[in-house]
């Protein structure tokens, strides 16, 4: 049960930067002009997503290891 919830949370966190960038409204500021103008926003979103995915995978593996260790001690 915990894995399903953490998978949903991980998916939400991975998609959050893309959703925020797609739904940005208002007058563009210097950061938006700089990142969108030079095409670096895609790189930023990709790097953040890869980092969050890596952390999520690490936590998933850690959870499995802990569950196995708990089973062995019982």
Q: How far apart are the first and last CA of the chain?
A: 20
DSSP 16-43: HHHHHHHT--SS--HHHHHHHHHT-HHH
Q: Report pLDDT for 62.
A: 96
- Give the number of residues written for the chain: 74
Cβ distance 2 to 44 under 8 Å? no
pLDDT at 13 over 60: yes
CA atoms of 21 and 41, how far apart (whole Å)? 9
37-64 per-position pLDDT tens digit: 777 888 888 999 999 999 999 999 999 9
Average pLDDT over residues 15-42: 71
- Measured at the CA of 28, the angle between CA 47 and CA 50, to 5 degrees, comes to 10
- Model pLDDT, residue 1: 45
């Amino acid at each position: 049960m915990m894995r399903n919830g953490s998978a949903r949370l991980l998916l939400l966190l991975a998609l959050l930067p893309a959703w925020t960038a797609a739904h940005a409204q208002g007058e563009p500021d210097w950061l938006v002009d700089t990142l969108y103008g030079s095409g670096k926003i895609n790189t930023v979103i990709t790097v953040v997503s890869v980092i969050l995915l890596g952390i999520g995978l690490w936590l998933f593996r850690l959870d499995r290891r802990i569950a196995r260790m708990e089973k062995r001690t019982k």
